Chain A
Amino acid sequence: DSGVTQTPKHLITATGQRVTLRCSPRSGDLSVYWYQQSLDQGLQFLIQYYNGEERAKGNILERFSAQQFPDLHSELNLSSLELGDSALYFCASSDLKRGGMDTQYFGPGTRLTVL
């Protein structure tokens, strides 16, 4: 158990809908990362937040958005869903104390299926 929790574990929805994925980082970790893993693309970095502020952006679509709240939990919002958005979405957290050499701890993931 990494200490990172994600909800829900599974999510099935229809095209065009909007969903919210939630992540609670390990106690004390200020940084949260979101990743998408699909069968044909592998793991892709989406976005990173540090203490409530966006720190780095990867291959995140405009239909997707994220935020980190004062209690450090984070949400990833996916809208106008398409079939291709079906994937595993992972959240990871780290303490960033070692300036780039931080270990990221991954949550169990949310499996999103868009029908």
Chain B
Amino acid sequence: KNQVEQSPQSLIILEGKNCTLQCNYTVSPFSNLRWYKQDTGRGPVSLTIMTFSENTKSNGRYTATLDADTKQSSLHITASQLSDSASYICVVIPYNQGGKLIFGQGTELSVKP
């Protein structure tokens, strides 16, 4: 079983709509949790970074939430744009293991006009 699991695997929404992506993790203890956006064939780009004590972090139209008790995080995208079409990856950094990162498999988001 993966230590970081994301759902749904893929999602299609219409431009202008909101959506929420889920991330469940078992990594414990952890230092911080991150969300990345990856366009096809390109390197991931960091969207948000949250420590275990933070509940929410925003970056423009992207808002990440974290519930350390239930070990769940979500990424909410508001007023989606065509350029939001990408893979969104949840990453958990274990505590005290150097720079090791544990990646989820990603959610493939497609925004249609």
Query: Which A residues have a C-beta under 8 Å from some C-beta of B?
Result: 2, 4, 31, 33, 42-45, 48, 50, 55-58, 88, 90, 92, 96, 100-101, 103-109, 111
Contacts and interface: CB of A to CB of B under 8 A. Distances in A.
Contacts of A42: 89, 103-106
Interface of B is mostly: strand
Contact of B99 (A2, A33, A43): A33
B51 interface: yes
A58 B102 CA distance: 9
A2 B97 CA distance: 25
Contacts, number: 60
B99 A109 contact: no
Contacts of A111: 41
Interface string B14-58: 000000000000000001100000000111111001010000000
29 contacts: A2-B45, A33-B99, A33-B101, A42-B89, A42-B104, A43-B44, A43-B89, A43-B103, A45-B100, A45-B103, A48-B98, A48-B99, A50-B99, A55-B98, A56-B97, A58-B100, A58-B101, A90-B43, A96-B99, A101-B32, A101-B49, A103-B49, A105-B46, A106-B44, A106-B45, A107-B43, A108-B42, A108-B43, A111-B41
B24 to A, nearest CB: 15
B102 A45 contact: yes
Contact of B42 (A92, A101, A104, A109): A109
